[in-house]
Amino acid sequence: MAKCRECLADIAAENHACPSCGARVDSSILATLIKAPDKESPRNPFDSKISDSFRSADSIDGARFIPGTLIVDRYRIRGLLGKGGMGEVYRADDLKLGQPVALKFLPENLANDAAVLVRFHKEVSIARQVSHPNVCRVFDIGDANGFHFLSMEYVDGEDMDSLLRRIGRLPADKATEISRQICAGLAAAHDAGVLHRDLKPANIMVDGRGKARITDFGLAVIAEQLRSDEGIAGTPAYMSPEQLTGKEITTKSDIYALGLVLFELYTGKRAFRAESLADYIKLHQESVPTTPSSLVPDLDPLVERVILRCLEKDPAKRPASAIHVAAALPGGDPLQAALAAGETPSPAMVAAAGKNSGVRPAIAVTLLASTLVVLLLTILLGSRLNILDLISAENTPDMLQHRAREITSQLGYADRPVDFGYGMHFDRRYLQYLDENVPTSERWDRIAQQRPVPVHFWYRESPDYLQSNRINLRSGVVTEDDPPLDQAGMTGLELDSQGNLRSFYAVAPEAEGSGVTVVETDWTKVLGLAGLDTAALSSAESEWIPRHAYDKRVAWIGTYPNQPEPPIRVEAASRNGKVVSFNVYEPWMQPAGAPLTTGQKANSIFGMSLFCLVVIGAALLARRNLRKGKGDRRGAIRFAVFVATLLLTGWMFGADHVPTSGEATIFSQAIASSLFYGGVVWLLYIALEPLVRRRWPTAIISWSRVLDGGIHDPLVARDLLIGILAGICMSLLDYLLQFANGDISPSSANLQSILGIRQFLGWFLEGAGIFVLFPLLMFFIIFLLRALLRREWLVALLFILLALTPSLLFGLPKSQIVANIFFFLGVFILAVRYGLFSFVVAFWISQITAQPFTTNFTAWYAVPSIAVILIIVGLAVYAFRTSLAGQSLFRGGSLLED
């Protein structure tokens, strides 16, 4: 192969054919090569022409192929661009597509090395996964008579290493521009799961327009496929401490190399120089680089700060991503830049946007103080509206359980059960009756001084283990009617919180042998267990049919002792003299299985229709986003796993487990339900998150940081504190409206949390999982309305109307509808102003503060109140301290104001 200008002259004389090798060269290229180079005046290195150093490399000295050589009948060599340990790079013309390309050939001595060939093929497969304007595109791989090569985008420019050697450091503004482009390209590689592992100035090209391109993925590797023995690879001068010592390589290793590159861009000097690998290892592990400002006195402090953060020895102290580095550079707002360019910002870019510094101390103190004050008011008012405090509930669940077993035994069922279950609930029908029929001024006195007592305790037992038949998140949770009351020997009863019997049932055997002793039932004794006086009752015709087998029915009508109202009806039945049914009915009681009202039917249809529409629409959007590669799969998986884990853990604490093979059944049902909810979360997130990221990214900045693991981020802490305050304010508003209207029916409180520590943990964790899903759905509805409508007031109106539809159809009291209007207006304002994370936190806080509060901390039911208070205060204090980002509260004895 001819390799000198004399040979080129021979080629010209021989009709463009070399007499020694027979190679043919295109005449236009030949004329360019044999012409003596012109002397040019100094030029801007970022103009559209090829730089001088690049032209000097565009020769055939030491090249394997001369200009004009045709490769695989498609590529015509124009010249050698550069050589390195992993190959030679030529400029060529793609005759098929009519565009310039770069061809990278393996060195001849490595062409038959199997390991090198594997790595060479891997470079192509890895590099093709990265598509970004600041990454040099790789097209294909080929073989020319045993010479393996890949084709890639030709960059009309020079590498950064050559540029820096020629001109020294870059101007500060140009260095910042180039730095952001490098960060963007590196972030794109990391988003694709690719580690570069050899980032250095020589692998960064600057094209004729001054745009940076990351090249040479010869040492790149898929992060998930990285083996420990692949760690020591790269250029020692630009390798991280963990990379030099063969430890785990992560994206933080590329961030370290990025810091070294930025050091050179801004200073024109290398951060470390050594003569051997051992010296480099020592320098990177032990030495601190010279501060950039000592080399460039007028360097922006922000630049120096981000460079030194990148060069931290501990990977955990380096910036979380390349996008975070770009955002920390002076004047950096990559999120707005991406939106202005019509691009959809990546999740990492969204997470890196916004402020990274702490909030002003005065604001943080105001938020914390407001949170504590509003929480105190909520506790005081909640205690005032706590029915347990009002009725002076003294009997603990354990005491009521003992009372229930005692009554069951007195009624003739003394055999010890194999299993039992119990719980507590409000008599909501009674409370609603009072709200609708009793004057406001009399309602609280009626509850405090008269019967019936609106807090009930239910208890049931069985000769076999009780196993729930539900196939949902309540799988394994025993309730009053699940499992069904159909097994012979089952008994159950309901007491009020004072221990008075309200109802009883017993399932008689299907067949009885001869010789059964029939005794007369002592109904006076049974009525006494119910706290009823026979003098206030009179016999009546039985109207209610018992659920289970009986041979005698009796009934009475009258009132509770020493009070004229409400009227009551007592229905009872016996079999062979043993009580099998007993019930005390008030006027608001309805037979079991009463038909649903029109509003209840409409509410069910509305809810199911909305759910189906959302799921179907989300599935279509998710399919579209996945096809286009827009979905944040990592964030969706993390979120879905988080929700499913919360639900499953809550179930493990809250369920009634059994030591039989049935436990496997309920466990599998609980897993299935948790995965279902997790799957719905994943589907919604994949479907709608890219749209929010494209049109409203500022609303999910702190949310994206949380999913990225940034729970210690000052912005996340600020939004956490705002969400806590907003959630408590919503609960306080609900209490204020309830108090002002004289309502006594708690809107969302339940008594599961007061049964014990296990039940409290189950309620708390399961509620956390459920109450993340609902606000997520509401937030996306707000987003869709904002995307369709331009006026915020109209969006708010339609959202509130849509959110209130179930309440209107279900027929809730007007006071609760008014409370819901304020609630949904508050969450709308919060979502629009502070975004998704504060919105979710506020919704969750508003739910856990709806449980019964009490200021009587010696009461048996005070533990959940104390736990919720400590959780809220702990989260608020943590958010307060983290939001400061290390700032001092006081300077010179006075609170900072800026």
With b for 16 or more beta-carbon neighbours within 10 A and e for fewer, the 113-128 pattern comes to: eeebeebbebbbebbb
For tokens 């060599």, the residue is: 77
Instruction: Copy the structure tokens of residue 420.
Output: 């039992």
Using CA atoms, how far apart are residues 256 and 239, in angstroms rounded to an integer?
8
Residue 725 CA: distances (Å) to CA of 708, 730, 796, 876: 24, 9, 21, 9
Residue 715 CA: distances (Å) to CA of 723, 829, 873: 12, 19, 19
Q: Write the burial class of residue 536 (CB in 10 Å: 0-12 exposed, 13-18 middle, 19+ buried).
A: middle
Q: Write the burial class of residue 43 (CB in 10 Å: 0-12 exposed, 13-18 middle, 19+ buried).
A: exposed
C-alpha closest to that of 807 among 797, 816, 798, 796? 816
Number of other CB atoms surrounding residue 874 within 10 Å: 10
For tokens 């409409």, the residue is: 602
Measured at the CA of 240, the angle between CA 237 and CA 246, to 5 degrees, comes to: 110
**Residues 799, 805, 806, 812, CA torsion sign:** positive
The single-letter code of the amino acid at 337 is A
Residue 364 backbone dihedrals phi, psi, to 5 degrees: -60, -45
Using CA atoms, how far apart are residues 876 and 870, in angstroms rounded to an integer?
10
Between strands 419-426 and 212-214, the pairing is: unpaired
User: Which of 198, 216, 300, 496 is labelled catalytic?
Assistant: 198
Cross-strand bridge partners of residue 221: 195
Residue 704 backbone dihedrals phi, psi, to 5 degrees: -65, -35
The single-letter code of the amino acid at 467 is Q
Q: Residue 324 in contact with residue 188, Cβ under 8 Å? A: no
Question: Which residues, 6+ apart, have CB-to-CB distance to 704 below 8 Å?
Answer: 347, 348, 350, 351, 635
Using CA atoms, how far apart are residues 270 and 262, in angstroms rounded to an integer?
10
The single-letter code of the amino acid at 574 is S
Cross-strand bridge partners of residue 79: 91
Q: Residue 128 in contact with residue 140, Cβ under 8 Å? A: no
C-alpha closest to that of 651 among 772, 422, 847, 476? 476
Q: Write the burial class of residue 896 (CB in 10 Å: 0-12 exposed, 13-18 middle, 19+ buried).
A: middle
**Residues 348, 354, 356, 361, CA torsion sign:** negative
Helix, coil or strand: residue 588: coil
Using CA atoms, how far apart are residues 237 and 887, in angstroms rounded to an integer?
36
Helix, coil or strand: residue 222: strand
Alpha helices in 835-861 (DSSP H): 836-848
Using CA atoms, how far apart are residues 591 and 544, in angstroms rounded to an integer?
8
Using CA atoms, how far apart are residues 352 and 354, in angstroms rounded to an integer?
7
* Segment holding 79, helix H or strand E: strand 75-84
**Angle between the 836-848 and 757-788 helix axes, to the nearest 10 degrees?**
140
198 as an active site residue: the answer is yes
Residue 236 backbone dihedrals phi, psi, to 5 degrees: -50, -35
22: left (phi over 0), alpha (psi -120 to 50) or beta: left
Q: E strands along 86-232, which residues?
A: 87-94, 99-105, 138-144, 147-153, 157-159, 194-195, 204-207, 212-214, 221-222
Q: Which residues are catalytic?
A: 198
